Each structure stands twice: as C-alpha cells, then as structure tokens.
Amino acid sequence: MTEKYTKKLLKLYESLLYSKRTDISLLFTDKPYLNFVDELIKFKDFSDIYNWEIAHYVISKHCLKYKNEKIKKNRNDLLLKLIRDLKRNFSKFRKLHLIIVPLPSLSLNSLISFKNITFIPSNFTLDQKLETIKNLSESTNENVLFFANHTSKTRSPDFFEYSLMCIQYIDYNEFMRLRVDEVVKVYVYLLRSLYFSEILEHNINDYKINLFVQPVTQKYLKKNSHVAIFGKTNEVQFHKVLSFSTKCYFNIDWLENPIYQRKYLNLIKKYSEVNNDFEQLFLNSLIILNKAYDQKMLNEHSLCLLLLMTSLENLLALNKNEKRLRIATLAPKLVSIKKSKMSRFSLVLSHMYLQRNNFVHSGKEVNFYNNISDRLESPFEKYLLPSFIIASKLIVSFPKHINKLRKLSFGKNFYKEWEKYLDDMFSKALFGASKLEPTKKKIESIDSYLDSLFK
C-alpha cells in the first residue's frame, strides 16, 4: 500500500469505528461503512478475492470487538489485524473448481498441460481421463467416478468421448456458478482466435481438412451443451448449460510449444481483466468474431460475413464514415503480417465489406457454391480465410495495443486515444497515396490474384 492510500484508509477506518460506539449494528448502507469498503477493495491483494458478504461479517465482528479501543493510539495495529482477518476468511471460503469443457472436433495427439489448463485427447480411455480429472481436482476415485456417471446419465452419454479442456479455477462457489459461462467463453474463444492468428496463416492449405469440416468419427456422438465442475466435495460440483458453441475444428499440437502457451495465458489474463471502454471494444470483437465462426459451422455464410465484418468495424470504424476504406486500410497495418502482403489483405477486406453491404442493404445473399465439390474452391472460401486471419490477429494483438496506449495516454481516456491513434494512421495512409492500390501491376482477375495470396 502506498503512503497516500494508507493514510486515507486509516482515516476512513477510524470514522467507521467511531460510528459504531453508539450503534453496534452495521448495515450495508451505513455511510462510514460504505466509504471504508469502497476504499478497501482498491487494495490490490483484494482485487480478485473480495466477497461483500464475508467482508461484512468480518468487519461487523471486528467493530463490535474493538469499538471501545483507543482508536487514535491503536488504529494502525487494528487495521492491520482487520486486513489479515479478511484475507484469512476470503481464502478459507474460496475453493478449487475443475471446469471440464468438451470440445467437439478438437484433436491433439497427447496430453497438454500448463499452469491451470490441461487438454485431454479424445483417444484417451475413460479410465485415463478420470484419473487425470481426479489428480487435477484433488478429489477421490469414488467421488470422480460418481459424478462422471451422473454427468453421462443426466447430460450427455458421450460427454467424455470428446477431447476435454480442464480449467483449474479457484473462486467462491456462488461466484463460480454465476460466472462459469463467461470464464469458459474467454478460454474457448481465445483458443480459436490464437489458432486463426498464429497457425492458420502458415498452414493455409490444411484448412480444407481442419477448419470447417467436422471429423467423421465425431459426427455420430451425442450433442453436449454442458460443462461439468468437479471438486473435492459435492457442494463444489455442479453442471452448467453453456450459452455458446465450443466446437473447434482443428488440431492443437502446436500448443505444446511454450511460446504459444505463454501467449495464450497472457491473452486470457488480459481479456479477463477488462475494465474500460477501450478494452471492452476488444472483448466485444472477440465474441462477435467467434459468433461468425459458429455461423460458418451452420453454413450460414451471409450471417458469418456480417458478423465477421462487424467484429472489424467495432474495433476500427465505430461511429465513423468510410467504414470499408478504414477497415481495408487500418487492419493490415495494425497486425503482424509481411509488408508485401498488406495490400493483398486490404483488397480482400474491401471486397468482403462490399459483399456485406450487398447483403445488408440489398438482401443479396453471399455467393453460395453450386455443389459440394465446388465448396472448397468457391470465391467465398478464398476471401473468408484471410479475413478470419486478419480479424484474429487484431484480437490477439490486444496486449500490444493496450501497452502502447498506456505509454501514449498518460492516464487519459484510452478509448479516445485509440480513436486518435487510428485517425492519425488513416490520414497518413490516405495522404501518402492517391488511392488504395493492392499491387503496382494491373490485376486482371481478383480470383487469380487471390490464388497467389499465400505463395
């Protein structure tokens, strides 16, 4: 705690104790109490573990016990004791929850485990999976077997047939029940985005197998829409219906690389700490981009395109004119791609936004393929993949941009600084050339041009 913060907290603590000398009850609405706890929760050690009900109980007992103490003389020691009591009680009631998330169509060749995340391959036997779950949840064989059987009988008989993501999460049980959906959403959506951003670009020819095609072996498994939360005791264990799809039609053996593990963990940390309008922009775009992916899985191409462009528009052209030009100009400049490919990606984004406009304003559906054999060679597929890559790279670049704005803003409004940063970049791009040219040589056909996009 800084000296300034400590002085303020001591003053508020003193006022709280004085107020309880004649009135031993402590209400949530008492002004001295509210002033004190509003300052107390700013203490960094409490930022992730504060619980209002536990705090109220501990502070009430503390005030009742020490209301007649010589406050001026002992306030430092008394406040320190209160903080220690709060920490101890917060820790006492926070429990380890193991969130088990089936990931349809995800493939991996071996167990991948780092920090609080473990991925279990679908080809592990049930015994192997339950043994891993037992160790991660610090539970017993009997407890894990009982809850696993209960899960298979009451939720999905094929729950444990899929590849599983296991997330160790320490929190209050009542909080976990409320927030498990948003926790899992961040983990799954960032896994997809990291794959699109870091892996897909270098394995572009594999998309015909991996990205949008469900493996035959999993087509006949019973659908699952729940997560299961395992723990040491029954009170911690429960099921929760998810509000989103967890399908991941790709391989994650690349996540064995510590570089990608660190990047994934850093993204989870950043996206779990969103607390201002600028950061909310990126979180919104992450969610919208993944909804676009889900629509593609349903073969809703027009909705996929609309959501994909909305994800970019939300970050780069919110409340701005010339949206198509801004997206096509800014997106490639903001992400880590080769300069030689920037104009190519700009061309793709410009074309995709025109398709989006045709759908929104004229009701013109995206150009569907005529038959299944045309699907992988359709113009839509050629444009879609580069667009997903760019949008995902923007999502993954969030930590870099937040650090940049911290240096530029000096405590100012991040949202306004982001707008200014983009406006400056856009103006520079416009006045640096007479028009947006994807290449110096004349392009006879956009399709033939895109054929060489990743060569």
What are the tens digits of pLDDT across the range 248-305? 989 999 999 999 999 999 999 999 988 888 999 999 999 999 999 999 888 888 999 9
Residues 304 and 399 placed together within one structural domain of the fold: yes
| pLDDT grade for 380, boundaries at 50, 70 and 90 | low
Whether 194 maps to a domain, the answer reads: no
Residues 13 and 57 placed together within one structural domain of the fold: yes
List the Cα angle 86/91/96 in 5-degree steps.
160
What pLDDT shows up at residue 184? 98
What pLDDT shows up at residue 104? 93
Residues 281 and 249 placed together within one structural domain of the fold: no
Q: How far apart are CA 106 and CA 248, in angstroms?
A: 5
Residues 433 and 291 placed together within one structural domain of the fold: yes
What pLDDT shows up at residue 215? 53
| pLDDT grade for 207, boundaries at 50, 70 and 90 | very low
Closest among 249, 113, 246 to 180, alpha carbons compared: 246
Residues 55 and 149 placed together within one structural domain of the fold: no
Q: Which of 310-314, 419-423, 441-445 bottoms out in mean pLDDT, i.e. has the lowest?
A: 441-445
Whether 102 maps to a domain, the answer reads: yes
Whether 203 maps to a domain, the answer reads: no
Whether 422 maps to a domain, the answer reads: yes
Residues 155 and 220 placed together within one structural domain of the fold: yes
The count of domains in the chain is: 3
Residue 152 predicted with pLDDT over 70: yes
Q: How would you label 205-228 residue by residue, b for 16+ Cβ within 10 Å and e otherwise?
A: eebeebbbeeeeebeebeebebbb
Mean pLDDT over residues 233-239, rounded?
92
What pLDDT shows up at residue 374? 44
Whether 264 maps to a domain, the answer reads: no
Higher pLDDT, residue 75 or 306: 306
Residues 52 and 121 placed together within one structural domain of the fold: no
Whether 199 maps to a domain, the answer reads: no
Residue 208 predicted with pLDDT over 80: no
Residues 181 and 99 placed together within one structural domain of the fold: yes
Higher pLDDT, residue 411 or 188: 188
Mean pLDDT over residues 56-81, rounded?
83
| pLDDT grade for 372, boundaries at 50, 70 and 90 | very low
Residues 287 and 371 placed together within one structural domain of the fold: yes
Q: For the chain, what percent of residues have pLDDT higher than 70?
A: 85
| pLDDT grade for 332, boundaries at 50, 70 and 90 | very high
Structure tokens at 350: 């410009």
pTM of the predicted protein model: 0.84
Q: How far apart are CA 383 and CA 351, in angstroms?
A: 8
| pLDDT grade for 434, boundaries at 50, 70 and 90 | very low
Whether 82 maps to a domain, the answer reads: no
Most confident range (mean pLDDT) of 41-45, 220-224, 278-282, 296-300 is: 278-282
Mean pLDDT over residues 4-32, rounded?
82
Reported as a single tens digit per residue, the pLDDT across 385-422 is: 889 999 999 999 999 988 888 877 666 788 888 998 89
Residues 101 and 25 placed together within one structural domain of the fold: no
Mean pLDDT over residues 84-113, rounded?
94
In the sheet that 112-114 helps form, which strands lie side by side, from edge to edge? 112-114, 117-120, 163-172, 94-103, 226-230, 238-241
Residues 163 and 15 placed together within one structural domain of the fold: no
Q: Which residues constitute the domain of residue 343?
A: 274-451
| Residue type for position 124 | F
What pLDDT shows up at residue 376? 44
| pLDDT grade for 45, boundaries at 50, 70 and 90 | confident
| pLDDT grade for 442, boundaries at 50, 70 and 90 | very low
Whether 311 maps to a domain, the answer reads: yes
Q: How far apart are CA 366 and CA 355, in angstroms?
A: 7
What pLDDT shows up at residue 164? 98
Contact indicator for 168, 113 with CB cutoff of 8 Å: no
What pLDDT shows up at residue 430? 81
Phi and psi torsions of 282, nearest 5°: -70, -40
> What is the average pLDDT score of the chain?
85
Mean pLDDT over residues 178-185, rounded?
96
What pLDDT shows up at residue 232? 92
Residues 114 and 19 placed together within one structural domain of the fold: no
| pLDDT grade for 441, boundaries at 50, 70 and 90 | very low
Using alpha carbons, list the distances in angstroms from residue 445 to 32, 92, 379, 441, 451: 72, 66, 12, 12, 10
